[in-house]
Amino acid sequence: MATNEQATYAPNALEAFWQERWEEAGLHRVFEETGRQKYYVLEMLPYPSGRIHMGHIRNYTIGDVLARYLRMQGKNVLHPMGWDAFGLPAENAAIEHGVHPAKWTYENIATMKAQLKRFGFSYDWSREVVTCDPAYYRWEQWMFLRFLKQGYAYKKPSMVNFCPKCQTVLANEQVLEGRCWRCDSSATLKQMEGWFLRITAFAEGLLEGLETLDGWPEKVRAMQRNWIGKSQGALVRFPVNETQDTLEVFTTRADTLFGVTFVALALEHDLLDSWYQTGRIQEAVWREIEALRQEKLSSRFEAELSKKGVLLELEAMHPLTGEKVPLLAANFVLTAYGTGAVMGVPAHDGRDFEFAKKMGLLIAEVVRPTDGSHPLEPTAFEDDGVLVNSGEFSGMASEEARRAIISKLESLGVGKGVVQYRLKDWGISRQRYWGVPIPVVYCEACGAVPVPDDQLPVVLPIDLSSKIAPGFGLAKLEGFLQTVCPNCGGSARREADTMDTFVESSWYFLRYACPDYEAGPLDTVRVHYWNPVDQYIGGIEHAVLHLLYARFFTRLLKATGVLRFDEPFARLLTQGMVIKDGSKMSKSKGNVVDPDDMVAKYGADVVRLFMVFAAPPEKDLEWNEKGIEGCARFLSRVWRLFQEVAQSLKRPFLVQEGNRESLKALEMAILRATHKVSQDIERQHLNTAVAALMECLNSFTELNDLLDSADGRLAFQGALKRYALLLAPFAPHHADELRALMGENGFAMQASWPRVEPGRIESPVKELVVQVNGKVRETLVFNGEASQEEVYRVALQSEKIKRLLEGKEVVRVVYVPGRLLNLVTQ
RNA sequence: GCGAGAGUGGCGGAAUGGCAGACGCGCUAGACUUAGGAUCUAGUGGGACUACCCGUGGGGGUUCAAGUCCCCCCUCUCGCACCA
């Protein structure tokens, strides 16, 4: 400007000044420019809960540093922001304070947007997406209808997780240790009808895709792999004697089939009820089953249930040996996994072993370690080995036996090889109000009818006659529900469920490419110009929620013909939490630091700097008031140095030529910093990039004797111009101000990132270390490259080295050019 | 139990197999000052106190050289967890 040429750094006025200039210049708007290399930097969009917190600031600062750096590198960088605006907190606020969810949400957005703007993040706000806007969610409804048509969306009754506090259903992914991910209430199970998206159809693709995501943290990939839970095995059918029923079990250990001594059913298995109704299960046995069911319900979330079971007094026939095996109902058999029934092989499964001991069931050894030992007591032998007591399969190795036994089962028609996944279809029905209405109507004559495209969006009614109270939902809005059938024109009722809000966040990153598009959900050209996202940044808490859903949606949209790629996020950075006094900042702990307070006190640049300096991005960051003061001190020192140089340029100089060594050192300092900062941003070590800037400043300060000379001042001016550019991604307001002070026009973001030709940071003066037996004993200085012989010769002239080598023979000399000489003695 | 990651000064943290502790905080001393919680200068792993020794959770190994690579163990954090 600059604002003035004052001696103290006054961040608030300065930052406001530059933010206005950026705004006027439309500096952060970006357009599709074919021929220019694009880069898409994305941070997870926030839920408008009321206020921005430090965790957001950290996330967005990391993204902003990368975005600004890449833009200065000449990339066409998309860096958007929006709001995940549907969700329960808005309804809860309505219940507690009587505010309409829409009003609450939009007011929060306004507050939070102002907070973000104060930090000077380089978002293209013209692309802002608000998911509760009908202009956004109409396309989500459009997509839903496509999915419906192709069978990827369907409705079914099922046992679902239900949060009593939120009064709504939760998807499997949204229940953490039996508790609601949002409010931490204990979830219950409930039989309900609801809509599902067929994520299981993409289980294999989602799993395989993980292998291609080498820009993702291994931790997240492992979590998703785990969640998808693929296992290879066999379905085996056990006919139940004296009935027409066949019990199917899933096993990964077909090689242990001859060791089956019982078959156990989950307490909730459908056949139990049917056998009870047909009198196959006695009244006394049934009462025991009921008792176990009760016990299981009440202790659902205990670490481990002690294994209990009930003999059904029914037998199944072993599919290969024809022997009779007892059937039991057991509390440790999972309903939701496999077939809800397991074959019991006590000799080779720890759980079955424990259970068999307790119930007095037989234990039959069929696999032995290859060393021939019999390790059956005190526990099961679970490893692979060699088969025994297994008829024609005896003598085979486990691996081979699994294949052979599966073929046998298949040829007899009593089983088959299968792949099983733990992943379940995504239940998206929510029985609440503040969400996207599911575009289906129910007609007495025509049944469930999809709402035609031209009647979209099904707008969420905003005018409410009654106040929102607990249990409120679309189902209470008679005016909304009543409609006509698009098919026959008869009276019909609308679907009252809304979609899980994770649906909105599954595709928002696509809409940023074309937020104004009205001819369809996505403008194919623009979407494919920007996507996939090159760098995604957000918290690890979404490892198997949002990140899995978004990957699924991308594949779904590809299958629907909208997209041409499989993976939405090429690289993922999961930043650590901001913690204080050892725990995550939260209202309940009373350890919250408000970003606004910090900005008021230190300015945005200082807070941004601290956010990336105090810890590497992926690690937790401990809030430290002293630490942020250190960053403030650093920016003040930078400020003073620039002032000093600017002032010196106006004064008469004392000498024409500056000290040659100092001039060289100055150039070397800025070159080294340029190299280090570039390299560190590239590898996302933002904390060491800032350290390099600090180090460079320290060097500058030591060289300020150069300001007495004419060429020293000019050299300093040149170096500082480059320094301001290096600072720009971290402290953008500061950087633009400093550039102005050095006589530059325009904005740092429009300037090119300084480059260093390789080799230029090599100092002509080499410092070389001499080791004796690997220990550093001497440091030598050479001008330019020195040969091994030369270094050796000089080293031997050192008194110290001479003394250490006295009476010893050098048996080996290791020379690393430019680094060290190691003399090895006997 | 399974999976992933991490153990380095008083603290946050640096180190393509090549001088361990960059940078910052804190601390010590000094300078400037009516004053200092401002600023500047110097020092700051431990022990010996001039030239040496020890030191990256513990124990082995590879190497001229290991915080870094390999094997075993311990501790911590996170995720999943009776997944057949």
Whole-angstrom Cα distance, residue A257 to residue A360? 20
Q: How confident is the model at residue A3 (pLDDT cuts 50, 70, 90)?
A: very low
What are the tens digits of pLDDT across the range A235-269? 999 999 988 999 999 999 999 999 999 999 999 99
Structure-model confidence comparison of residues A603 and A163, the more confident one? A603
Total Cβ atoms within 10 A of residue A738:
28
Tell if A343 CB is < 7 Å from nucleic strand B: yes
pLDDT digits (tens, 9 = 90+) for A285-300: 999 999 998 887 776 5
Instruction: Please tell me the predicted confidence (pLDDT) of residue A406.
Output: 96
Among candidate residues A39, A823, A145, the one with its CA nearest the CA of residue A455 = A145
The residue ranking higher by pLDDT, A732 or A795, is A732
Q: Which residues in A43-67 are b (16+ Cβ under 10 Å) and which e?
A: bbbbbbbeebbbbbbbbbbbbbbbb
Q: What is the pLDDT of residues A519-569, one digit of tens each?
A: 999 999 999 999 999 999 999 888 889 999 999 999 999 999 999 999 999
Q: Which nucleotide has the shortest C1'-to-CA distance from A355?
A: B82
φ, ψ dihedrals at A709, nearest 5° = -110, 155
Å separating the CA of residue A612 from the C1' of nucleotide B8: 21
Cβ atoms of A147 and A197 within 8 Å: the answer is: yes
**Given this model, what pLDDT does residue A704 score?**
84
pLDDT at A503: 97
Alpha-carbon distance of A49 to A462, in angstroms, equals 19
For A37-48, write each residue's pLDDT tens digit.
999 999 999 999
pLDDT at A397: 93
Alpha-carbon span A577 to A96, nearest angstrom:
29
Rounded to whole angstroms, the distance from the CA of residue A635 to the C1' of nucleotide B22 is 19
DSSP letter string over A725-772? Answer: HHHTTTSHHHHHHHHHHTT--S-GGGSPPP---TTTTS-SEEEEEEEE
The answer to whether some atom of strand B lies closer than 7 Å to the beta carbon of A175 is: no
Bridge partners of residue A499, in order along the sequence:
A429
Q: From the alpha carbon of A699, which nucleotide's C1' atom is closest?
A: B23
Residue A801 pLDDT: 83
- Give the up-direction half-sphere exposure of residue A483: CA atoms within 13 A in the CB hemisphere: 22
pLDDT above 80 for A479: yes
Mean pLDDT (chain A, rounded)? 91
Query: Which residue's structure tokens are 């910093």?
Result: A673
The most distant pair of C-alpha atoms in chain A lies apart, rounded to whole Å, by 111
Given this model, what pLDDT does residue A1 score? 47
Rounded to whole angstroms, the Cα distance separating A60 from A680 reads 18
pLDDT for A583 equals 80
Closest C1' nucleotide to A694's CA: B23
Strand B within 7 Å of which CB atoms in A 237-266? 250-253, 266
Higher pLDDT, A533 or A378: A533
> Which positions 677-736 on chain A have a beta carbon less than 7 angstroms from any atom of strand B?
685, 687-688, 690-691, 694-695, 698, 701-702
CA–CA distances in Å: residue A375 to residues A365, A370, A541: 10, 11, 43
| pLDDT at site A627 | 92
Percent above pLDDT 90 for chain A: 69
Q: Which residue has the higher pLDDT, A321 or A297?
A: A321
User: Could you tell me the pLDDT band of residue A8, with boundaries at 50, 70 and 90?
Assistant: low
- Distance, Å, A691 CA → B71 C1': 37
Q: What is the pTM of this model?
A: 0.93
Per residue in A675-728, pLDDT tens?
A: 999 999 999 999 999 999 999 999 999 998 898 888 999 999 999 999 999 999
Does nucleic acid strand B have an atom less than 7 angstroms from the CB of A816? yes
Does at least one atom of strand B sit less than 7 Å from the CB of A232?
A: no
The model's pLDDT over A434-463, given as tens digits with 9 standing for 90+, comes to 999 999 999 999 999 999 999 999 999 998
Q: Are strands A533-539 and A447-450 parallel, antiparallel or unpaired?
A: unpaired
Q: Look at residue A10 in the predicted model and tell me its pLDDT.
A: 79
Distance A776 CA to B40 C1' (A): 34
Q: What residues form DSSP beta bridges with A579?
A: A584, A622
The partner residues of A191 in beta bridges, in order of sequence, read A159
Candidate from A148-162, A662-676, A754-768 with smallest mean pLDDT = A754-768
Which residue would you say has higher pLDDT here, A708 or A505? A505
Higher model confidence: residue A825 or residue A277?
A277
User: What integer is the mean pLDDT of A732-751?
Assistant: 95
The A 383-422 residues near strand B by Cβ under 7 Å are 420, 422
Q: Helix axis angle, A546-559 relative to A218-228, nearest 10°?
A: 70
Say if residue A404 is exposed, middle or buried (CB neighbours under 10 Å; 0-12, 13-18, 19+).
Answer: middle
Name the percent of chain A lying above pLDDT 70. Answer: 97
Q: Is A226's CB less than 7 Å from nucleic acid strand B?
A: yes
Is the C-beta atom of A627 closer than 7 angstroms to strand B?
Answer: yes
Q: Give A240's DSSP letter.
A: B
Strand B atom within 7 Å of A771 CB: yes
Q: Is A242 left (phi over 0), alpha (psi -120 to 50) or beta?
A: left
pLDDT at A535: 97
**Closest residue by C-alpha to C1' distance, nucleotide B12:** A614
A767 touches strand B (CB under 7 A): yes
CB burial readout A217-233, b (16+ within 10 A) else e: beebbebbbebbeeeeb
